[in-house]
Copies of this chain bind each other. A is one copy, B any other.
Amino acid sequence: MKNEKLKGNMLIAQSGGPTAVINQSLVGAVLEAKKHREITKIIGSLHGIKGILEEKLIDLSKESPAVLEAVASTPSSALGSVRKKPTPEDCGKIFHILQKYNIRYFFYIGGNDSAETTHIINEEAVKSGFHMHCFHICKTIDNDLRENDHTPGFGSGAKFVAQAFMGDNLDNRALPGVKINVIMGRHAGFLTAASALARVHPDDGPHLIYLPERPFSIEKFLDDVKKVYAKYKRCVVAVSEGISDELGAPIAAKFSREVDSHGNVQLSGSGALGDLLASEIKSKTEISRVRADTFGYLQRSFAGLVSENDAKEARAAGQTAVKFATGGDWTSGSVAIRRKPGKKYQVYYERVDLKSVAKETRHMPEEFINEESNDVTRAFLDYARPIVGNLPKIGRFKGVPVAKA
C-alpha cells in the first residue's frame, strides 16, 4: 500500500438495469472527484464498457453543477447502460484504451455482474503492471449483492412496489376478485417481499407472497388462494418473476427463450407468468374474476418516486468510492452499505473485495420468510421499513351499519 497519490484521469460508467437513484451515485462520485487534484479529467463512458470499447466517452468535468444536480434526481442511467460480459479479447482491448486515456481511476456502478467485470479489469491491470484504482459502486433494485445490508435502488423500487400494492389492495377491495402482481427479482425476493409494507389493516393484501427462495408449486398456490378467498372473498397475491419449481427451473422461463450474455434467461418485459397463474386459477377454481398485472420496468425507473434514504445513500456510495480510491489504502474494491446495530436506523460504508460481491448473489435470509413459504415475517418488515421510508396514509371508514328500515 503506497501513500503516494496516483495522478491521472478518472473514468466512470453505469451497467445493468437502471434504478431511480443510479445517477445519485454517479453525481456523488463526480462531485467528490472534483475535490481531488490527483484526478485530472473526469470521463464518463457511454453504455458501460461498450463505451470504452467504442471510445464513446464524454467529459463530465464540463457539466455544470446545476446539470449534475438535475441528473442526480433523474431516474435511469444517464450515461446509458449495457448488459455485456467482456470476453478475454474485450479485456485486452479495454486496457489498451484505458492506458491510452491514462485512466488511473475506474468506477463501475452496477450489480454483481458489474462487480465481476470490475474484478476482471482490475486483474488485467495488475497482470499488465498498469497502476490503476478499480472500484465497484453497488447498485441493484433486486437487493441481491452479498456483503451489503441493502443496495442503492432497492429502497426506491420497494417504495414503488409498496405504493402500488397499497392502491391495488384498495382496488381489489372495491371490486373483489383475485389479483396477481408479478414483481422483479430473478433470484432474490426482496422487492416482492416489499409488497408486505403496503398492509395497514389486518385484512389488507398482499395476502400471499411467493419468493424465488422457496420452491413454487401450482397446487399449493391454488390451495392458498382458495383459503384466502374463502376468508376475505378476495385475494391479492405478490409473485416474484423468479419463482422456480422444485428443480430450480424458473416458472416464467417456460415462456421465454431469451438469454443475455451473462447466461440469464429474460424474465421481465412480458406478462406471460401473471397470465399463466391467472388462467390456472380461472380453470381450476370457482373464482371468476381473476386479474394479473406485471409491474415490469415501471418499478425500477419511475420518475418522481424515490425513497429519501435510498437517494441519500446512493449519493454517499458514489462519494465514498472516490474517497476509498484516493485514500491510498486500497487499489480496488467495492463499496458496501452496512447497517449499525441498534434501534435507530444508521448506515456506514465499507470497502470489500471485488470478488466478495461478484458472481454469486444474496438471497432473502431464512428469518425473513414464513414457514408456509407464502409470506414474509416481522423481521423482514423491520428490516425494510427504514430503507423504504414514509408511505402514504390510508384512510378507511369506521362503517357504522344503518339500522334496517
Contact = CB atoms under 8 A, between A and B. Distances in A.
Interface in A1-35: 14, 17-18, 20, 23
Interface stretch (A72-80, A113-121, A326-334, A366-374): A72-80
Nearest to A82: B175
Contacts of A64: 398
Interface stretch (A161-169, A212-220, A347-355): A161-169
A377 B301 CA distance: 27
A325 interface: no
Contact of A168 (B167, B290, B301): B301
A196 to B, nearest CB: 15
A12 to B, nearest CB: 12
A272 B271 contact: yes
A244 interface: no
Contact of A57 (B101, B198, B402): B402
B395 A78 contact: yes
Interface stretch (A186-194, A292-300, A335-343): A292-300
Interface stretch (A124-132, A302-310, A311-319): A302-310
Contacts of A171: 18, 75-76, 297, 300-301
Contacts of A173: 76, 80
Interface in A48-100: 55-60, 62-64, 67-83, 100
A291 interface: yes
B395 A167 contact: no
A396 interface: yes
Contact of A391 (B175, B298, B304): B304
A198 to B, nearest CB: 8
A163 B304 contact: yes
Contacts of A398: 62-64, 67
Contacts of A297: 167-168, 171, 179, 291, 293
A303 B100 contact: no
Interface string A38-52: 000101100100000
A57 to B, nearest CB: 4
A178 to B, nearest CB: 10
Contacts of A300: 171
B170 A401 contact: no
B303 A291 contact: no
A69 B395 CA distance: 8
Given A58-B401, A173-B80, A402-B43, A294 B294 contact: yes
A61 to B, nearest CB: 9
18 contacts: A58-B400, A59-B402, A67-B397, A70-B393, A70-B396, A74-B170, A74-B395, A76-B167, A78-B395, A78-B397, A81-B175, A163-B303, A163-B305, A271-B292, A272-B275, A291-B296, A293-B295, A298-B298
Given A62-B398, A170-B301, A270-B292, 10 more contacts: A69-B395, A74-B395, A74-B396, A102-B405, A271-B271, A271-B272, A271-B275, A292-B296, A304-B391, A305-B305
Interface of A: 14, 17-18, 20, 23, 41, 43-44, 47, 55-60, 62-64, 67-83, 100-102, 163-164, 166-168, 170-171, 173-175, 179, 198, 268-272, 274-275, 278, 290-298, 300-305, 391-402, 404-405
Closest 7 CB pairs of A and B: A271-B271, A70-B395, A269-B291, A293-B296, A76-B170, A304-B392, A166-B303
